């Protein structure tokens, strides 16, 4: 559901402070939103 996507996006943004590759996960998740 949308809530899961939002939570995943927030986690990726928080974790994105360390490794850059997670930014790619955000870009991949964008179309799902």
What is d(CA 1, CA 18) in angstroms, rounded to the nearest whole number? Answer: 27
3-state secondary structure of 33: coil
Domain ranges, residue 9: 2-32
pTM listed for this prediction: 0.41
pLDDT in tens, 14-29: 776 666 676 777 788 8
What is the pLDDT confidence band of residue 30, given thresholds at 50, 70 and 90? confident
Q: What percent of the chain has pLDDT over 70?
A: 76
Total structural domains within the chain? 1
| Residue 17 to residue 15: CA distance in whole angstroms | 5
Which two structure tokens, joined as six digits, stand for 6?
């939002």
């Amino acid at each position: 559901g949308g809530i899961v996507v939002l939570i995943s996006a927030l986690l990726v943004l928080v974790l994105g402070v360390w490794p850059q590759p997670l930014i790619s996960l955000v870009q991949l998740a964008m179309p799902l939103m």
